[in-house]
Amino acid sequence: MNRTPAAGTPEPERRPPTGHHPGRSTTDAPAAVGAGTVPRQSPGAPDDEGGGPAAEASPAPAAAPAGAPPDTAADPLDHPDPLVAADAGTVENLLRCWVRENDLPEPGGDRLRIPLHASGTALLVPVLHWSPAGWHRFGPPVLEGAPADAPPADAVTVAVLLTREPGGDGAGPRPGGPRGDGGGRRPEAVDLAGRVADSVLRTAAFIDDRRRRPAPGTGPTCS
């Protein structure tokens, strides 16, 4: 058979093998991507479109609780003063306990009103988050009817006010029943106020120490 092509017959186009690049050996061709594998771009590459941490929109900072002083941090637990942060955490614990024990429903707005019948007032509590599991987040509470520039109720004040209520630890006045010994000055309320104050001071010391000496990045190991 004559293998010489006839005159004028174009030679078939010879294409380089897949993965071949001019000036590069075919042995340097990258491995084929397996079926079902999605190639990923390296995060933060300069030519990424919308990729990388720099291109992600930063979340807007949370607003401070409604009714809180202007210098209040968005999250009271992040307040730069360890004592203020500790007091805020203690207040939240007291309020969560009271809401749970009294089965208070979720408020319709962003503020919870806790009536204090024994004291003739109420606590107005900003609701930062209402949890179905009971782990609610609250802002600094204020007394209803207090002046606009009045400071929020601290942990000791909240503890004493709740203790005065029926069902509190201080066995407060009940409808139709006598007041506690000494015209309502109950040893239980005094003891609770002292324990709450001590807890705030101890918590503030722990927060201050942790902020000065942050824990290492590695978690605890099992021994």
Give the mean pLDDT of 119-145. Answer: 95
DSSP string for the chain: ---SPPTTPPPPP-PPPTT--TTS-GGGPPPPPPTTPPP-PPTT-TT-SS-SGGGSPPPPPPPPPTT--TT--SSGGG-SSHHHHHHHHHHHHHHHHHHHHTTPPPPSSSEEEEEEGGGTEEEEEEEEE--TTS--EE---EETT--TTPPPP-HHHHHHHHHTSTTSTT----TTSPPPTTTT--HHHHHHHHHHHHHHHHHHHHHHHHHHSPPPSSPP---
pLDDT tens digits for range 164-203: 998 665 444 444 333 444 444 567 788 889 999 999 999 9
Q: Is the pLDDT of residue 205 over 70?
A: yes
Q: Which residue has the higher pLDDT, 151 or 36?
A: 151
pLDDT digits (tens, 9 = 90+) for 38-94: 343 444 444 444 444 333 333 344 455 444 444 444 788 999 999 999 999 999 999
For residues 109-121, one letter each, b for 16 or more C-beta atoms within 10 angstroms of the residue's C-beta and e for the rest, the string is: eebbebebebeee
Query: pTM to 2 decimals?
Result: 0.59
How much is the pLDDT for 97? Answer: 95
- d(CA 85, CA 83) in angstroms, rounded, equals 5
13 or 156: which leads in pLDDT: 156
Q: Kindly report the average pLDDT of the chain as a whole number.
A: 72
For residue 166, the model assigns a pLDDT of 86
Tokens of 148: 């606009």
Span 95-121, mean pLDDT?
A: 95
Which of the two residues, 5 and 216, has the higher pLDDT score?
216
Per cent of the chain over pLDDT 70 is 55
**What percentage of the chain exceeds 90 in pLDDT?**
49
Pick the most confident of 3-17, 177-191, 208-222: 208-222
Report residue 36's pLDDT band, with 50, 70 and 90 as the boundaries: very low
